[in-house]
Amino acid sequence: MVIFQPSGRRGYVSRGKTIKEASRDLGVDLEGLCGEKATCGKCRVRIEEGVFNKYGIESKMANLTPISEAERKFFNLQQERNGYRLACQARIQGDILVFVPEESRMGKQIVRKAPTDRAIDLKPAVKKYFVELPPATLEEPLGDWERLQSALSEQYGVGNLGIDYQVLFALQGVVRGGDWKVTVSVWMDKEVIKVESGFVEKGYGLAVDIGTTTVAGYLCDLTNGEIVATASMMNPQVVYGEDVMSRISYSMSNKDGLEQMNRAIIDGLNGLISEVALQAGIRGQDILDMTIVANTCMHHIFLNLDPQYIGKAPFTPGIHHSLDIKVRDIGFKVPPEVEMGFDEETAIKEAKRCLNCGVYAQAEGTEGLETRGFGLRISPGAYVHVLPIEAGFVGADNVAVLIAEEPEKQDSMELVVDIGTNGELVLGNRKKLVSSSCATGPAFEGAQIRYGMRAAPGAIEKIEIDPDTRDVRYQVIGRVGWNVDLEAVGAKGICGSGIIDAIAQMFKAGIIQPSGRFNTDLETPRLRKAESGREFVIAWAKETSIGQDIVVCQEDVRAVQLAKGAMYAGARLMMRRLGAEKLDKVILAGAFGSFIDKKSAAVIGLFPDCALENITAVGNAAGDGARIALLNVDKRKQADEIARQVEYIELTLEKDFIKHFTHAMHFPHMKDAFPQLKGILPEQTSG
């Protein structure tokens, strides 16, 4: 028996499983950023005294494999004596009671992928036709399908159609149930994917953006293009690794790794379908179309394609082009029969009842619904359209940004920056477009930062440091106002935008030097020397919910320098390739791009010089692109074309890459950068 505290979840797991594996089995969300390699130290747990220790021995570790050297690095002797372990390393040998400290609990992230208001021409892939058939007679006993074909051809001029096999099952009953009047949904003028009795006006489509961390879905009315419901969730794959590389590594080091992650995202999307359908008050089977955008790794895992080859040179993907796949082929749950009106009604009713009585919320949203068999199911004949990818590290999400922003139609030199867990860059105008990706590492997402965390309640997201007193004030997600005005702050860590702020403010306040090193001459209790090196205190222990000072350490600064250096050098090399002297416009796509402080980004030098007023955040442009492709099939064609037009630059192969990269790591990266910021920056020592 394994018991997790404070959640109280418990159950039996096989001997030899790690605590992390047990946590997954028992539904306990543990942090973890390194793909269970004992390198991030985020999954610390404390083994409580052995209430279940069957030996009666006064040792907390009797029922675990011994602590390894790799683990030991993360704990001092006191912590080791107190029973601390890394959940990903300690293997279960018997009954244990595990306490999960607050900092190791995975917060429910605040999903910031709101759709942007955009005008979209309506030309959906699925069209509905209302048809009246001549009833069968003894003189003309033509098959129902042939009867429907000729009616569609006569009444609408739609010919040469196929029919989905599962729709064919139900055809006879549906046609007779509607007294020979039916509504037919036709996909791409090619295939009948649904037939309903009588007249049915509405049909819906779901646009999905699968991010490494967050998945967002937009349910749209295909008859007028309106968004009727929006839902988002954590990518359920995060338990297998925080970033693209750790998921690739998980898939390579675990026999069923790919299958597990594929199942996780498909199951998650099944829940998302239920959620948007419930929100909009429609039946799942009224969803007739779906588009998917994702980075190349998420794209591969979603398609159940082995991502290992995109993780190593020459970074070859399995497929570049867009794909249309039957939802049931890809593993989406579909109703056992096309027409299951009654069952779905029951499901909706039950779901609403649960929502009202709170059971729904308790059962963790739609997951609970799924578990109890009340999930709403997408129309089984529907196709999912997966947008094309550009390269091993420039994915369908980037293509979606391009069809949303259309830099290929502009005269001005535009840089599109999509900062997710990976950095993706597109530069150019109507003459030419180039793209590249940079291994920014997960620093901008709060990972590999000592007190880094995702944008969840308790995360410090905005920071100001007084340049004279070096005193700090900050704001946390979930509370309104500055910390100094709050009674209880409850800070838990620092998220991506907070880190950018912290580094920019520390630089402006002279706490860190242009080289990135701490200025050891400063006198402030916040800058101190700890066992592991110098660190700067952002929040004192009393202001936190974790009982520790939240600090930025030298390694944190270094991680941000690496990340921003890669971004900056990438943009510079792309400009060199296009012969561009300067940027006319910077477009920040992605949720992160919408929340960072533009000035802070400029101060640390995230991208080359550009007038502040020409830097615009466009929100979740990838999600918008998914929606655009959902509502307009011409845009799908455009996506395939642009994905092949954009020339991918493998930055590491570019001449002088290392030199550029090293240069760009400094603050500010260039002597002449950001003239508009002159005066607000301290004296420069290098450039």
Run of H or E including 670: none
Cα(10)–Cα(4) distance, integer angstroms? 6
Complex with a second copy: residue 230 or 291, whichever CB lies closer: 291
| Number of helices followed by number of strands (H, E) in the chain | 19, 27
Peptide bond into 6 cis (omega under 30): yes
Least distance from C-beta 139 to a second copy, angstroms? 8
Binding flag, residue 173, a second copy (CB under 8 A) = yes
Binding flag, residue 144, a second copy (CB under 8 A) = yes
Q: Cβ distance 71 to 38 under 8 Å?
A: yes
Binding flag, residue 391, a second copy (CB under 8 A) = yes
Binding flag, residue 141, a second copy (CB under 8 A) = yes
Question: Contact region for a second copy (CB under 8 A) — 62-70, 285-293, 388-396, 451-459?
Answer: 388-396
Binding flag, residue 315, a second copy (CB under 8 A) = yes
Burial environment of residue 267 by CB neighbours within 10 A (0 to 12, 13 to 18, 19 or more): middle
Within 8 A by CB and 6+ apart from 338, the residues are 166, 167, 169, 170, 174, 194, 195, 285, 379, 380, 381
Q: Cβ distance 504 to 473 under 8 Å?
A: no
Under rule CB under 8 A, how many of the chain's residues touch a second copy? 45
Q: Cβ distance 149 to 191 under 8 Å?
A: no
Least distance from C-beta 135 to a second copy, angstroms? 9
Question: Contact region for a second copy (CB under 8 A) — 101-109, 144-152, 237-245, 579-587?
Answer: 144-152
Complex with a second copy: residue 426 or 651, whichever CB lies closer: 651
Complex with a second copy: residue 302 or 474, whichever CB lies closer: 302
Binding flag, residue 530, a second copy (CB under 8 A) = no
Complex with a second copy: residue 277 or 386, whichever CB lies closer: 386
Q: Cβ distance 656 to 664 under 8 Å?
A: no
Binding flag, residue 653, a second copy (CB under 8 A) = yes
Least distance from C-beta 329 to a second copy, angstroms? 5
CA dihedral in degrees (34, 39, 42, 43; nearest 10)? Answer: 90
**Contacting a second copy (CB under 8 A), which of 216, 222, 282, 305?**
305
Binding flag, residue 325, a second copy (CB under 8 A) = yes
Complex with a second copy: residue 142 or 537, whichever CB lies closer: 142
Question: Contact region for a second copy (CB under 8 A) — 201-209, 221-229, 287-295, 304-312?
Answer: 304-312
Binding flag, residue 168, a second copy (CB under 8 A) = yes
Binding flag, residue 263, a second copy (CB under 8 A) = no
Question: Contact region for a second copy (CB under 8 A) — 136-144, 196-204, 429-437, 541-549?
Answer: 136-144
Give the DSSP per-residue string, 1-24. Answer: -EEEETT--EE---TT-BHHHHHH
Residue with tokens 């925080």: 242
Binding flag, residue 25, a second copy (CB under 8 A) = no
Least distance from C-beta 17 to a second copy, angstroms? 24
Cα(556)–Cα(552) distance, integer angstroms? 6
Complex with a second copy: residue 211 or 380, whichever CB lies closer: 380
Question: Contact region for a second copy (CB under 8 A) — 61-69, 79-87, 134-142, 563-571?
Answer: 134-142
Q: Cβ distance 43 to 88 under 8 Å?
A: yes
**Contacting a second copy (CB under 8 A), which of 48, 95, 267, 306?**
306
Binding flag, residue 159, a second copy (CB under 8 A) = no
Give me 620's structure tokens.
Answer: 């979740």
Give me 484's structure tokens.
Answer: 């100094």
Binding flag, residue 169, a second copy (CB under 8 A) = yes
SS (H, E, C) 224-280: CCCEEEEEEEECHHHHHCCCHHHHHHHHHHCCCHHHHHHHHHHHHHHHHHHHHHHHH
Complex with a second copy: residue 12 or 165, whichever CB lies closer: 165
Complex with a second copy: residue 73 or 644, whichever CB lies closer: 644
Radius of gyration of the chain measured on its C-alpha atoms? 27
Within 8 A by CB and 6+ apart from 180, the residues are 132, 133, 134, 135
**Contacting a second copy (CB under 8 A), which of 130, 309, 482, 657?**
309
Complex with a second copy: residue 136 or 486, whichever CB lies closer: 136
Least distance from C-beta 503 to a second copy, angstroms? 33
Q: What are phi and psi of 293, to 5 degrees?
A: -120, 150
Q: Would you tell me which residues interact with a second copy (CB under 8 A)? A: 136-147, 163, 165-166, 168-169, 171-173, 176, 303-306, 309, 313-321, 323, 325, 329-330, 389, 391-392, 648, 650, 653
